[in-house]
């Protein structure tokens, strides 16, 4: 008997249409009978992935072959585009595209690709038995075969951001292809869509091949990219089609969301770099690209939740689906939650009910439009405590990239009752870029470019250099009230003249160690010095390393070699030794910072060059540096303590609003976002027999004196108003006379009014103003009017000048807004423009609940305010 004939392969051709994917699935399921039932679902899944790739990327007729023999099933998917090679990509589990070849690799017994003159075939084998799989993988990625090539340089390419951008490009073009194939008119000609698909595949193949040839050592690196020399026109088409796809995504006409701002900016940079360099333009580094608020290309660090946990600032992180993924101890303590209860919840759990709809709308708008309205800005709003009460905070949100390219939204919650330890300019967490300059004021001076830096620090300085160093340190700490900013600038000065890197560690009142400053003159690749800042393990009796010894009073200590492992047994010692290993140090000096005979911190100076180590001759200079730093830190801490006392005083003086039948009242107070200084802004409301008194005022100045004067004026005004039933202008005149009894006769603005009327209305306001900005009346229909009558001189000018009184009707459901000038005044625009903007905001909020009215007003106008501000809103509400 002869050998049995080999089983026939089932072969079928499919046109290049999306419908062919479903048809191919049915064909494979029918070709495999019940004998291979355990393999059918896997074979159908893999064929679906490979046929989809062929339809989208090869754009030719497709042939599918199925052969089953013994325990094996072999499936082959062929197209007629041999020049379009495979470009397997590493994809995280959540990725919507790019996983086809990964799935094939994971689920098959064997797999591979065959390339002929006129075809390319991707094949795989499945087995019903448990035979061990032979070692198989995809061949190295090769760029498309072309005759002429050019090399472009992608300078400072962030690999994780590229991976995220690539996945988004593929998903966007896939959805666009399916929509156009279904007949949806998105303004993309089929010919241009085909060119865009081809060029996108070329870019992916070229970058994948370049990464295989030049594996990066760090996330940010420069990559030489070989591309077809004539790719310029096709790249322009790809850019144009992607822009149209982004528009369709923003209009919710595709299933893919549009790119977030950072990812969109990166994609534009990548495509422009290839196009421009092919046209002869020089390369531009990604880190030098202008960027919007909320991120900094040059300082982005991969997201690490452990870094957030060590931050001393209340910080919460959420992912792109609006779920909380991390919260540190200060944040959970502030809001009354445990971290385990918070993680996994939607961010709306921390947002008051009256602002949740706005948050959802804003977050959805960010995802759909990519327009970031509050990223990187300091916004005053209330957070919701676990027990239901509201916590006034200033919110600063920034973005970070996860190692896999996803975006993380990191929010600092600075309590408005007291300022953060180092002011609003400190980083949100170790590893997170500092608050952008536009949110906190002028930026710190940038480090000099590499060519401008001294070649090497010298072991000894001349008298002039010593004087310059110490004068610079004194100026750095004396010209800023923000301790963190001052120490960062001092660190830059020290590392330019004396050391390669320096660290300042401070003790807190509970013996905890806070690493407040890490500065490196020329950081190693991939190392961001500020990533090492934050809380350290507490100082205890078990530490024996140099930092612990110095914090107990020893030193200065001269370290002439790397720290030996034996000194790193305790957590604090281990972290200190790790710092030396990560930043590199061949010699170092560790010196205590003393104030009033007590050690409150330590300064570490290190050099990395073993040929130029620190010697004993540098210790006198280090002693001078320490004395200068000690004085500056001590003064900054004293200023911070004084400011905190004043803020607590000011907060304690803010009154509880009265409950008045059919009259709603709401008030807000916010300190300056740029200086966090205290000031003299205040509001008040109380009941008198003739009605309800409403008061708003502002004492000149931003210091403790202003806060104290404010408390005196507020108390005197209450006493005068309650003592006698007198008209508003008389009350202000008597207040002005009393003001002159104070020692320094301060000047201040003030508006005092009386709201009168029965529960069912009508209501009226009688008021008098001492130089204060006019109240704004907004009706329920959105009509607005400033109440500018009754104006007079500031308090403290001339108490004998007669004052006037004005009257205004308050319609039912209208909103009377009393406010201080911090709400409207901006240095870069006329006051008329600011007042017009206020009218627009109140008109848009006219029908909102009064609490929403106030919070939305602060979000819209109080963000980044350079001045304190106070608002008091009054709304008559007749019975139904």
What are the helix (H) ranges across 370-447?
437-440
Residue 325 and residue 415 in one domain: yes
Q: What is the mean pLDDT of the chain?
A: 80
Task: Print the domain residue range for 45.
Answer: 10-127
Q: pLDDT value at position 395?
A: 81
Q: pLDDT value at position 816?
A: 97
What are the helix (H) ranges across 283-413?
305-309, 329-335, 339-342, 353-369
Residue 275 and residue 306 in one domain: no
The model's pLDDT over 167-224, given as tens digits with 9 standing for 90+, comes to 888 888 888 888 888 788 888 888 888 888 888 888 888 888 888 888 776 666 788 9
Could you give the angle at the alpha carbon of 355 between the alpha carbons of 349 and 360, nearest 5°? 70
Residue 684 and residue 813 in one domain: yes
Residue 755 and residue 705 in one domain: yes
Contact 222, 153 (CB under 8 A): yes
Residue 284 and residue 302 in one domain: no
Q: pLDDT value at position 417?
A: 46
Low-confidence winner among 430-444, 675-689, 714-728, 778-792 (lowest mean pLDDT): 430-444
Examine residue 121 and state whether it is found in any structural domain, yes or no. Answer: yes
Residue 303 and residue 338 in one domain: yes
Element (H, E) at 29: helix 19-31
The model's pLDDT over 820-877, given as tens digits with 9 standing for 90+, comes to 988 888 777 788 888 999 999 999 999 999 999 999 898 888 876 667 889 999 999 9
Domain boundary among 253, 288, 323: 288
- Token digits of residue 812: 């039912």
Residue 710 and residue 837 in one domain: yes
- What proportion of the chain, given as a percentage, has pLDDT over 90? 20
Q: Is the pLDDT of residue 438 over 70?
A: no
Residue 700 and residue 606 in one domain: no
Domain boundary among 270, 288, 306: 288
Q: Coil, strand, or helix at residue 68?
A: strand
Q: Coil, strand, or helix at residue 210?
A: helix
Chain centroid, CA 687 distance in Å: 45
Residue 731 and residue 866 in one domain: yes
Residue 815 and residue 679 in one domain: yes
Chain centroid, CA 384 distance in Å: 21
Examine residue 471 and state whether it is found in any structural domain, yes or no. Answer: yes
Examine residue 647 and state whether it is found in any structural domain, yes or no. Answer: no
Which of the residue ranges 77-91, 117-131, 761-775 has the most confident prediction, judged by mean pLDDT? 761-775
Domain boundary among 412, 440, 468: 440
Q: Is the pLDDT of residue 676 over 50?
A: no
Domain of residue 104, CATH code:
3.30.565.10
Mark 177-196 as b/e (b = at least 16 C-beta within 10 Å): bebbeeeeebebeeebbebb
What is the C-alpha separation between 431 and 601, in angstroms, rounded?
A: 22
The model's pLDDT over 251-278, given as tens digits with 9 standing for 90+, comes to 878 888 788 777 888 889 999 999 999 9
Chain centroid, CA 655 distance in Å: 34
Question: How many residues are given for the chain?
Answer: 880
- Token digits of residue 676: 């966090």
Q: pLDDT value at position 552?
A: 82
Q: Is the pLDDT of residue 512 over 90?
A: no
Pairing of strands 791-792, 763-770: parallel
In 402-547 the beta strands, taken as DSSP E runs, fall at 407-415, 501-507, 513-520, 534-536
- Token digits of residue 89: 């990509």
Q: Is the pLDDT of residue 428 over 50?
A: no
Residue 772 and residue 755 in one domain: yes
The model's pLDDT over 134-179, given as tens digits with 9 standing for 90+, comes to 666 666 655 556 567 889 999 888 887 888 888 888 888 888 888 8
Examine residue 142 and state whether it is found in any structural domain, yes or no. Answer: no
Determine phi and psi for 631, rounding to 5 degrees. Answer: -60, -45
DSSP code per residue over 308-331: HHT-SS-EEEE-TTSBEEEE-HHH
Pairing of strands 776-778, 815-819: antiparallel
Examine residue 133 and state whether it is found in any structural domain, yes or no. Answer: no
Examine residue 141 and state whether it is found in any structural domain, yes or no. Answer: no
Q: Coil, strand, or helix at residue 21?
A: helix
**Among 70, 658, 647, CA closest to 416:** 647
Q: pLDDT value at position 96?
A: 58
Q: Is the pLDDT of residue 730 over 90?
A: yes
- What's the total number of domains in the chain? 5
Mean pLDDT score, 662-680: 74
In 385-522 the beta strands, taken as DSSP E runs, fall at 390-401, 407-415, 501-507, 513-520
Residue bearing the bigger pLDDT, 589 or 673: 589
Examine residue 759 and state whether it is found in any structural domain, yes or no. Answer: yes
Domain of residue 402, CATH code:
3.30.450.20
Residue 483 and residue 372 in one domain: no
Domain of residue 473, CATH code:
3.30.450.40
Which of the residue ranges 96-105, 525-534, 665-674 has the most confident prediction, judged by mean pLDDT? 665-674
Examine residue 143 and state whether it is found in any structural domain, yes or no. Answer: no
Residue 95's pLDDT band (cuts 50, 70, 90)? low
Contact 530, 427 (CB under 8 A): yes
Mark 65-102 as b/e (b = at least 16 C-beta within 10 Å): bbbbeeebbbbbbbbbbbebbbbbbebeeebebbbbbb
Give the Å distances, CA to CA, from 131 to 108, 109, 136, 265, 871.
12, 8, 14, 49, 76
Residue bearing the bigger pLDDT, 817 or 305: 817
């Amino acid at each position: 008997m002869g050998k049995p004939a080999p089983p026939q392969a089932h072969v079928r051709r499919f046109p290049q249409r999306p419908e062919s994917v479903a048809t191919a699935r049915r064909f494979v399921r029918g070709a495999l009978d019940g004998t291979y039932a355990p393999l059918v679902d896997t074979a159908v899944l893999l064929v679906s992935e490979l046929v989809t790739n062929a339809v989208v990327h090869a754009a030719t007729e497709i042939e599918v072959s199925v052969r089953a023999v013994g325990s094996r099933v072999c499936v082959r998917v062929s197209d007629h585009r041999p020049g379009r090679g495979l470009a397997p990509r590493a994809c995280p589990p959540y990725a919507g595209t790019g996983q086809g070849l990964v799935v094939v690799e994971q689920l098959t017994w064997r797999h591979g690709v065959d390339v002929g003159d006129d075809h390319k075939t991707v094949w795989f084998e499945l087995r019903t038995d448990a035979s061990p799989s032979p070692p198989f993988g995809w061949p190295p990625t090769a760029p498309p075969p072309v005759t002429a090539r050019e090399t472009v340089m992608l300078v400072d390419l962030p690999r994780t951001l590229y991976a995220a951008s690539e996945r988004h490009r593929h998903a966007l073009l896939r959805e666009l292809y399916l929509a156009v194939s279904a007949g949806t008119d998105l303004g993309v000609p089929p010919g241009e869509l085909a060119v865009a698909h081809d060029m996108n595949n070329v870019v992916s193949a070229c970058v994948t091949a370049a990464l295989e040839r030049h594996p990066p050592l760090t996330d940010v690196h420069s990559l030489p990219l070989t591309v077809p020399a004539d790719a310029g026109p096709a790249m322009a088409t790809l850019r144009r089609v992607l822009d149209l796809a982004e528009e369709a995504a923003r209009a919710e006409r595709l299933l893919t969301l549009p790119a977030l701002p950072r990812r969109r900016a990166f994609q534009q940079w990548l495509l422009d770099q290839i196009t421009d360099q092919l046209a002869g333009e020089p390369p531009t580094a990604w880190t030098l690209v202008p960027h919007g608020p909320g991120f900094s290309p040059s300082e982005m660090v991969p997201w690490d939740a452990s870094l957030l946990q060590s931050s001393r600032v209340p910080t919460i992180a959420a992912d792109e689906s609006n779920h909380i993924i991390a919260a540190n101890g200060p944040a959970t303590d502030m809001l009354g939650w445990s971290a385990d209860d918070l993680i996994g919840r939607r961010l709306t759990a921390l947002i008051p009910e009256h602002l949740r709809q706005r948050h959802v709308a804003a977050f959805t708008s960010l995802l759909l439009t990519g327009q970031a309205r509050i990223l990187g800005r300091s916004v005053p709003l209330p957070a919701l405590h676990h027990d239901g009460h509201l916590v006034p905070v200033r919110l600063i949100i920034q973005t970070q990239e996860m190692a896999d390219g996803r975006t993380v939204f990191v929010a600092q919650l600075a309590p408005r009752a007291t300022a953060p330890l180092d002011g609003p300019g400190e980083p949100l967490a170790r590893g997170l870029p500092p608050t952008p300059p536009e949110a906190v004021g002028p930026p710190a001076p940038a480090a000099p470019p590499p060519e401008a830096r001294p070649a090497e620090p010298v072991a000894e300085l001349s008298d002039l250099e010593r004087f310059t160093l110490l004068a610079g340190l004194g100026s750095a700490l004396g010209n800023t009230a923000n301790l963190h900013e001052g120490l960062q600038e001092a660190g830059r000065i020290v590392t330019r003249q004396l050391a390669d890197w320096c660290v300042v560690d401070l003790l807190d009142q509970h013996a905890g160690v806070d690493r407040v400053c890490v500065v490196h003159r020329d950081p190693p690749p991939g190392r961001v010095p500020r990533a090492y800042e934050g809380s350290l393990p507490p100082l205890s009796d078990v530490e024996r390393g140099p930092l612990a010894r110095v914090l107990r009073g020893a030193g200065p200590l001269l370290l002439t070699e790397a720290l030996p492992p034996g000194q790193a047994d305790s957590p604090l010692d281990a972290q200190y030794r790790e710092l030396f290993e990560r930043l590199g140090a061949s010699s170092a000096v560790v010196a205590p910072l003393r104030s009033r005979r007590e050690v409150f911190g330590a300064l570490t100076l290190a050099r990395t060059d073993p040929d130029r180590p620190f010697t004993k001759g540098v210790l006198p200079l280090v002693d001078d540096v320490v004395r200068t730093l000690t004085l500056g830190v001590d003064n900054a801490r004293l200023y911070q303590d004084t400011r905190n006392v004043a803020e607590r005083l000011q907060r304690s003086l803010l009154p509880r609003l009265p409950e008045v039948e059919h009259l709603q009242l709401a008030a807000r107070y916010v300190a300056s976002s740029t200086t966090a200084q205290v000031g003299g802004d205040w509001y008040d409301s109380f009941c008198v027999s003739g009605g309800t008194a409403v008061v708003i005022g502002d004492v000149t100045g931003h210091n403790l004196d202003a806060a104290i004067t404010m408390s005196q004026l507020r108390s005197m005004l209450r006493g005068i108003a309650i003592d006698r039933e007198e008209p508003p202008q008389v009350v202000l005149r008597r207040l002005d006379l009393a003001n002159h009894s104070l020692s320094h006769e301060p000047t201040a603005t003030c508006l005092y009014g009386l709201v009168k009327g029965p529960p069912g209305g009508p209501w009226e306001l009688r008021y008098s103003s001492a130089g204060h900005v006019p109240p704004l009346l907004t009706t329920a229909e959105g009509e607005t009017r400033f109440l500018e009558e009754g104006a007079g001189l500031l308090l403290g000018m001339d108490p004998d000048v007669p004052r006037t009184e004005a009257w205004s009707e308050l319609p039912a459901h209208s909103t009377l807004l009393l406010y201080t000038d911090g709400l409207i005044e901006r240095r870069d625009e006329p006051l008329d423009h600011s007042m017009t903007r206020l009218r627009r905001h109140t008109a848009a909020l006219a029908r909102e609940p009064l609490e929403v009215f106030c919070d939305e007003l602060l979000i819209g106008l109080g963000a980044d305010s350079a001045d304190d501000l106070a608002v008091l809103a009054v709304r008559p509400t007749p019975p139904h």
